[in-house]
Structure 1
Amino acid sequence: MYIWLIGLHVAAVTVWIAGLSVAAILISALDPATAAEPGPTRVLRAAGRWDRRVTSPAMGLAWILGPTLVVVGGWGFEPWLVAKVAIVVALSALHGKLAAALRRLAEPAPASGVRPVSPLLRFSPLAVIVGVIAIVTLVVVKPY
């Protein structure tokens, strides 16, 4: 049973991170003016639908299976696990910010013509990559 839970957890995390990466790349590549054009707006709407239907449920499943693995596996609050969870919380928050930015950019432009998106989201692809590398390293190496 435990090995099946691990497999499902890894699959859910893979789908979540793939969707998170796509959203991060789109948000960082499109400025608000370009995003208002018909082609990019269609892509942003499609990415938003994918996020709601696939990426967000995958994240939820990963969040359900992760603590389940901790309980079933009999793990304690080991430092590497606490550090991993902190990074997962940060990636989850980033996912929320990116999902909101996708929605905002896919909406019709207001009278000002600009739909604001945080300029810090331009670094979101890098944040996803660094977060995933840190998590995989913590899980495999268990340094402390």
Structure 2
Amino acid sequence: MILETIVIDDDEIFLLISKKIIDRSKFHPTPKIFVESIKALDFLIQDYSLQKAYVILIDINMPTLNGWEFLEALRSFAKPQNTFVCVVSSSTDQVDIARADQNPYVLQYLSKPITVETLVKLKELPQLVGFFPITE
């Protein structure tokens, strides 16, 4: 199965830093980066396949289509068995965390900024472990 990694955030500096962290952690060699969640959604609608797995890192507070709306839109075409979302937010609001925990697509709620260590731990989650080469 092919793994796609998608990062969605309206903060271009966060996206630049995230791309470097993804590279350092060897999480994915070519993550797809989107400033607009609607463009990420359009990409996913066109690209989605049960033969692929998708790890999506998304901020919840964005203009046009926020993270919650994006998650709701996923329901129309994607399956939680191969679509793994990590909400990446600066919000520590317990309502947001609880809402993420209740969503079948959300694998984890991560606090900004993401780190190499966070991504290494993410690769070790049972849902994702088969998609990454074993490292020493």
TM-score with structure 1 setting the length: 0.29
Larger Rg: 1
**Looking at both structures, which has the greater relative contact order when contacts are Cα pairs under 8 Å and sequence separation is at least 6?**
1
Q: Which has the higher helix share?
A: 1
Tell me which protein shows more strand as a share of its residues.
2
TM-score (norm 2): 0.31
